[in-house]
Amino acid sequence: MPKSLTLGNGNMLVCFDRYGQVTDLYYPHVGMENHIGKDALHRIGVFVDGGMSWLSDPNWNIDLRCVRETHVSHIVAKNKTLGVTLVFTDVVYNEKNIFLREVMVRNELPRKTTIKIFFCQEWNIYQSVRQDTGYYDPFSHSIIHYEGRRVFLANGFTEKGGIDDYTTGIYRMEGRDGSYRDAEDGALSKNPIEHGLTDSVLSFHLELDSQEEQNVYYWVAAGKNIPEVSDLNNYILEKSPGHLIRSTTNYWTAWVNREGFSFYGLTQDMINLFKRSLFIIRSHVDSSGAVIASGDSDMLQYGRDTYSYMWPRDGAFTIMALDRSGDSYIARKFFSFCNDAITNDGFFMHKYRADGSLGSSWHPWVTKEGEAQLPIQEDETALVLYALWEHYKLTKDLEFVEDVYNSFIEKAANFMSLYRDKETGLPKRSYDLWEEKLGVSTFTCASVYGALIAAANFSGLLGKKEHEKKYRDIAEEIKTGIMKYLYDEETGTFRKLFNRVSGKNINDNTLDISSVYGMFRFGVLPPDDPRLRKAFGITEERLFCARYSGGIARYEGDNYYRLGHDVPGNPWFVTTLWLVQYYIATAQNEKDFERVKQWFDWVVGVALPTGVLSEQLNPYTKEQISAAPLTWSHSEYVLAVIAYLEKQEELGICKACNLIVDRNIKADTEKEGV
């Protein structure tokens, strides 16, 4: 089930299902150590007139949204049978590792009644299955779960006081469903402690007149020992949950509006999705600088693992989006993370965990013939270097460039300069950006071209003229090789990839949007080049899922999560927004932006009400499938909107569309005395 909402602060990431219940809680790294995860759930139940109903029951009407322009949930759950309305306001506190829920409970019945609300916590601490302890703490009047250096405290109160009832137990062990079954008669057994795969339930009761409302506050504090979570609990009680929610709301409102984009010509829905995308992106960035692809634990890639890793490629696109939206602080942390992660030989491995350690991989170290090979996607190395130049153009942070030149820029550029085929001049084969095929792909070659141009620019900036010439010359050799080996003049398209076998080129002519996009994105050809225009036109025509959903597939015959064979593949947000970015780059007047805004409308129309964008869509129903949210999808939407604003200003349609670029231009001219 795709996640409908995510909240986070860089150390804690909380994911919700479509019922507003918590399904994932990552701590102390985003995307690493999911202490709930698959087959566990933090249920919420309501007991009225002798009947219990959990929010996942069909008699609830639940609307999940977010408070506009801030990183706060607004969830309305109505149950006409029980006569109860719940309104949730949820945050992950931006300063400390605290998840807070304010629940407004309203009695819709025409009489006074008692309403009990139950919060059930099922934990899988460290994802270790059997080694947790859960107990009721009489000193803080809370429930504490722990294993080793991971401790979670659950507590809450109403205007009448704290927890009314509690129990601890086990679930999915010894034939037990879980302690939520204990709550279904409206009373809890007060079991004080349990160990194994532990859970707990706590409850509050409210006496409400007809149409009366009262608030219930509930929180989970995370720490590395019991004194730490006890201090956090005291902090919440001292400051008050309402104050922390307001403080968090104000912080994120200021964060998302700090640059004051004009959003000329865009609808409010498009603007709202832009800001929601920034919040979703930010919640997936760890305090270490790692950018996690998705916190969706239900999504199992090839059935074996999740997307809770940092792919340097995805991270680079995400950081370019954050950079261009004004968050250069996070961008610098990302590049520092990459500076530490790059190998001594100058390349990145497949993916990483948020603590910098290697992630799982299916790329082998030997070929089918038994020859040694590097298990890499070279575009990942190239993209980080390319993104660093984009970062420098915005920030002019020369000191940081100087710090990482030898350890990252030169190291990566030298690797890409050497890791080439002598005959073609192109990069040696590696896995393509979709992580599926081994070969010499157009996208990878184009990204290496862009990265070496970036390295040349950095070298020239620091007066390293020999390095500048070397990298620029090699980039031009790669460009020549692309046009010779990867451009098909007969069809007017760029090949997906090729392999050299026994001195012969074995071409893969599959139409893949990444091929033509790479040529455009990394500046191998200018946007108005007729070959590029023709290739984009053919690509759109053949990869457009016109019959049902709209959107652009990755390539012809894409089988990843494929649902039918009368479409080229499932539409992806990333690939669709790549096409939009090309439209923006080639726009000549205001009328040319109409199709751009039509695509923005399409994206808004298939987004969840909380703004979540998945990886793919069902091509027949437009239902979101695969990982949701996908950080990369949101990043491409942000990049497309900012590219739209920049192009509007370039054409003179809007004179102050992008204040970030305007400010940097002004700073440059002042430095030069203009």
User: Is the predicted pLDDT of residue 673 greater than 60, yes or no?
Assistant: no
- Sorted by sequence, the CB contacts under 8 Å of residue 615 that are 6+ apart come out as 294, 572, 573, 574, 625, 626, 627, 628, 630, 632, 633
Half-sphere exposure of residue 667: CA atoms within 13 angstroms, side-chain side: 11
Distances, alpha carbon 93 to alpha carbons 142, 245, 283, in Å: 19, 7, 12
- Sorted by sequence, the CB contacts under 8 Å of residue 572 that are 6+ apart come out as 551, 552, 553, 554, 615, 616, 617, 633
User: Is the predicted pLDDT of residue 47 greater than 60, yes or no?
Assistant: yes
Structure confidence at residue 660 (pLDDT): 55
- Across residues 115-126, what is the average pLDDT? 96
Structure confidence at residue 54 (pLDDT): 96
- Across residues 655-663, what is the average pLDDT? 60
35 lies in the same domain as 132: yes
80: domain CATH number is 2.70.98.10
User: Is the predicted pLDDT of residue 1 greater than 70, yes or no?
Assistant: no
Q: How confident is the model at residue 670 (pLDDT cuts 50, 70, 90)?
A: very low
User: Is the predicted pLDDT of residue 665 greater than 50, yes or no?
Assistant: no
Our separate counts of H helices and E strands in the chain read: 16, 28
Averaged confidence pLDDT in the chain: 94
This prediction's pTM: 0.94
Distance CA 291, CA 426 (A): 29
- Across residues 152-169, what is the average pLDDT? 96
Q: What pLDDT, in 10s, does the model give residues 400-453? A: 999 999 999 999 999 999 999 999 999 999 999 999 999 999 999 999 999 999
Structure confidence at residue 93 (pLDDT): 98
Query: What angle (nearest 5°) sits at the alpha carbon of residue 498, between those of residues 496 and 499?
Result: 150
The H or E element spanning position 227 is helix 226-239
- Across residues 190-198, what is the average pLDDT? 96
Q: How many angstroms from the chain centroid is the CA of residue 238?
A: 34
Q: How confident is the model at residue 503 (pLDDT cuts 50, 70, 90)?
A: confident
Which of 33, 575, 24 lies closest to 354 in space, CA to CA?
33
Q: How confident is the model at residue 535 (pLDDT cuts 50, 70, 90)?
A: very high
176: left (phi over 0), alpha (psi -120 to 50) or beta: beta
DSSP 564: -
Q: Is the dihedral of CA 491, 496, 502, 503 positive or negative?
A: positive
Q: What pLDDT, in 10s, does the model give residues 334-362? A: 999 999 999 999 999 999 999 999 999 99
238 lies in the same domain as 302: no
589 lies in the same domain as 453: yes
In the chain, what's the furthest Cα-to-Cα distance?
85
The H or E element spanning position 394 is helix 378-395
User: Is the predicted pLDDT of residue 99 greater than 80, yes or no?
Assistant: yes
Q: Please identify which residue in the block is written with the tokens 């949730």.
A: 88
265 lies in the same domain as 125: no
- Across residues 26-32, what is the average pLDDT? 95
271 lies in the same domain as 123: no
211 lies in the same domain as 283: no
Which of 375, 369, 469, 349 lies closest to 413 in space, CA to CA?
469
- Sorted by sequence, the CB contacts under 8 Å of residue 309 that are 6+ apart come out as 31, 292, 293, 351, 352, 353, 359, 360
Distance CA 494, CA 580 (A): 19
Q: Please identify which residue in the block is written with the tokens 């499938």.
A: 625
The backbone torsions φ and ψ at residue 595, rounded to the nearest 5 degrees and listed phi first, read -70, -30
User: Is the predicted pLDDT of residue 487 greater than 90, yes or no?
Assistant: yes
Structure confidence at residue 664 (pLDDT): 54
- Across residues 228-235, what is the average pLDDT? 98
- Structural domain boundaries, residue 75: 5-255
User: Is the predicted pLDDT of residue 303 greater than 80, yes or no?
Assistant: no
644 lies in the same domain as 503: yes
Report the number of distinct structural domains present in the chain: 2
List the beta strands (DSSP E) in 93-197.
98-107, 113-122, 132-137, 142-147, 150-157, 165-170, 193-196
213 lies in the same domain as 263: no
- Across residues 176-188, what is the average pLDDT? 93
Structure confidence at residue 662 (pLDDT): 52
- Sorted by sequence, the CB contacts under 8 Å of residue 433 that are 6+ apart come out as 313, 377, 379, 441, 443, 444, 514
Residue that terminates a domain, selected from 255, 276, 298: 255
Q: Please identify which residue in the block is written with the tokens 């009407």.
A: 61
273 lies in the same domain as 146: no
How many CB atoms are located within 10 Å of the residue 393 CB? 13
Which of 435, 544, 421, 542 lies closest to 486 in space, CA to CA?
421
Distance CA 259, CA 256 (A): 8
291 lies in the same domain as 417: yes
Q: How confident is the model at residue 174 (pLDDT cuts 50, 70, 90)?
A: confident
Structure confidence at residue 201 (pLDDT): 98
Structure confidence at residue 158 (pLDDT): 96
Residue that terminates a domain, selected from 255, 282, 301: 255
456: domain CATH number is 1.50.10.10
Burial 321-358 (b: 16+ CB within 10 A, else e): bbbbbbbbebbbbbbbbbbebbeeebbbbbbbbbebee
- Across residues 504-526, what is the average pLDDT? 96
Share of the chain above pLDDT 70, in %: 96
Six-digit token string for 229: 């979570």
Structure confidence at residue 460 (pLDDT): 97
Give the 3-state secondary structure of residue 616.
strand
Share of the chain above pLDDT 90, in %: 88
557 lies in the same domain as 640: yes
Q: How confident is the model at residue 674 (pLDDT cuts 50, 70, 90)?
A: very low
According to DSSP, the residues that pair with 500 across neighbouring strands are 505
- Across residues 368-373, what is the average pLDDT? 88
Own/partner pairs for 404-407, CB < 8 Å, 24+ apart? 404/335, 404/336, 404/339, 405/458, 405/462, 407/339, 407/342
Structure confidence at residue 37 (pLDDT): 82
Query: What angle (nearest 5°) sits at the alpha carbon of residue 308, between those of residues 305 and 314?
Result: 110
Q: How confident is the model at residue 56 (pLDDT cuts 50, 70, 90)?
A: very high
Contact (CB, 8 A) for 85 and 145: no
156 lies in the same domain as 169: yes
- Across residues 631-636, what is the average pLDDT? 98
Six-digit token string for 320: 């370019």
Q: How many angstroms from the chain centroid is the CA of residue 586?
A: 29
Residue that terminates a domain, selected from 255, 286, 313: 255
The backbone torsions φ and ψ at residue 74, rounded to the nearest 5 degrees and listed phi first, read -140, 100
- Across residues 260-282, what is the average pLDDT? 96
Q: How confident is the model at residue 658 (pLDDT cuts 50, 70, 90)?
A: low
User: Is the predicted pLDDT of residue 663 greater than 70, yes or no?
Assistant: no
